[in-house]
Amino acid sequence: MNRRQDDQPDQQQDQQRGREHDPRDQQRRVIRVLVVAQILGGVGAGATLSLGALLAAETSGSSAWSGMAATMSTLGAAAAAVPLASLAQRKGRRTGLATGAVVAGCGALLAITAASLSLFPLLLVALVLLGAGSATSLQARFAATDLADDATRGRSLAVVVWSTTIGAVLGPNLFEPGQVLAGVLGIPPLSGGFVFSAAAQAAAAAVYSLGLRPDPLLTALQREAADRPAGSRPERRRGLAILARNPAARFAVVSIAVGHAAMVSVMSMTPVHLHDHGAGLTIVGLTISLHVAGMYALSPVFGWIADRFGKTQGILCGQLLLLAALLTAWRGAGSEEWVTASLILLGLGWSACVVSASALLAGAVDVAERAPVQGSSDLVMNLAGALGGALAGPSLVLLGYSGLSLGAAVPVAVVLVWTLTRLAGVRTRTAAAA
């Protein structure tokens, strides 16, 4: 009797160790940790998203500089993408993601300092560092795929993308509490939201550091090494070199970049277009809110589509939605209702494309090549978004909203044809093999 009781702790420990080594349990744990950290990171980004433009105008003394907030943050995300991915490849996702959150938190503290000293150049540096938070959020979606199999990769990634919605919605609502906190701390009113951002990013870094144990990428690399023939080593290549030799990965990255550029260019000019045509702030805010909901709310559905019907089919769905959105905006530019409908479709198309193409990218390369190619993908994505945003303003002036939308539809149509060509090639090879 006593022996059975003495054996129970050992049996419980064995069961616990078994659960820790169960790939499904490990994956579920990774997803839970990533969801919590994404919510915190989303709060950190959302709390400063709208404040960045206002603070830029205040510290510079001119509203003409307000657009630099989004520009510098986007460039910061692009600059951080490859270094964070390289760090993850060497030290694991835990280190890479936690480092990105810490850098973003430091950017928030630096923004408070810049506001207190009224130093616009210092604020620009802070915004670049805050962009590391966006890069971390993007790479977290890939961390969800490290231990996932092909049948669940899309859904795993989509759940992490969806969780960003919670923080993005909560963050902007901290504007007024931030002003109250700023009064208590004796700092400029607009900098109070950055206190919440710094705290949220610090909490996210702690969640990554403590929760991602064992590290999903290092675990995947260990499994891949165990399955590799004795004496062989994977070739070390940079992300862009991998893309140059891997057609599937290259197709996925281009799909993400083109979809992101089209979304950013049209979305960023929609508030200006609606305001110029007499729409009130309520309509403008509702349109953007519905667009953001389209970007994230249905991402699990698109993840299921990618897993159930194929990643390329999911990309096709996204490109068709993007094209429908842009053509709707082209034809219905004079109608608030049609513009709103086009922005909803634009968000849905972006979601389907990013989720499906990211899942395709994760499965198109070996485990040893994932982090470098994913970092390059995020770099290209952010640069494409920055380019789309930079060209959107002049295009709106020269071509109008209809012309801007039609111009954005051209590269989307090219990727759509490319997608159909790939699907036709797959069917031909399948028929030949049969």
pLDDT above 80: residue 47: no
pLDDT at 109 over 60: yes
Q: What local confidence, expressed as pLDDT, does residue 293 receive?
A: 82
* Residue 43 sits in the same domain as residue 192: yes
Query: Residue 35 domain-assigned?
Result: yes
For residue 10, being part of any structural domain is answered with no
Judging by beta carbons within 10 Å of its beta carbon (0-12, 13-18, 19+), is residue 281 exposed, middle or buried? Answer: exposed
For residue 166, give its domain range: 22-220
Question: Is there a domain that residue 312 lies in?
Answer: yes
In whole angstroms, what is the distance from residue 405 CA to residue 407 CA? 5
**Bigger pLDDT: 190 or 128?**
128
Q: Are residues 140 and 267 in the same domain?
A: no
Q: What is the mean pLDDT of residues 254-281?
A: 86
pLDDT value at 277 more than 90: no
pLDDT of 69 reads 76
pLDDT single digits (tens) 299-335: 999 999 999 999 999 999 999 999 999 999 999 998 9
Q: Mean pLDDT, to the nearest integer, of 245-256?
A: 94
Domain boundary at 185, 220, 255, which? 220
Same-domain status, 169 and 255 = no
Q: What is the pLDDT of residues 356-395, one digit of tens each?
A: 999 999 999 888 888 889 999 999 999 998 888 888 888 8
* Mean pLDDT on 277-295: 79
- Residues 181, 192 contacting (CB under 8 angstroms): yes
CA 295-300-303 angle, to 5 degrees, is 100
Pick the last residue of a domain from 157, 186, 220: 220
> Do 80 and 175 share a domain, yes or no?
yes
Residue 63 has pLDDT above 70, yes or no: no
pLDDT at 65 over 50: yes
Does pLDDT of 348 surpass 90?
yes
Number of domains composing the chain = 2
CATH number of the domain within which 133 lies:
1.20.1250.20
Classify residue 408: in a domain, yes or no.
Answer: yes
Least confident interval from 74-83, 158-167, 379-388, 397-406: 158-167
Residues 157/145, Cβ–Cβ less than 8 Å: yes
Within a domain: 12: no
* 242 and 214 together in one domain: no
**Predicted pLDDT at 244:** 85
By CB atoms closer than 10 A (0-12, 13-18, 19+), residue 11 is exposed
Percent of the chain exceeding pLDDT 70 equals 88
- Domain identity same for 132 and 269: no
Residue 216 within any structural domain of the chain? yes
Instruction: Tell me the pLDDT band of 13, cut-offs 50, 70 and 90.
Output: very low
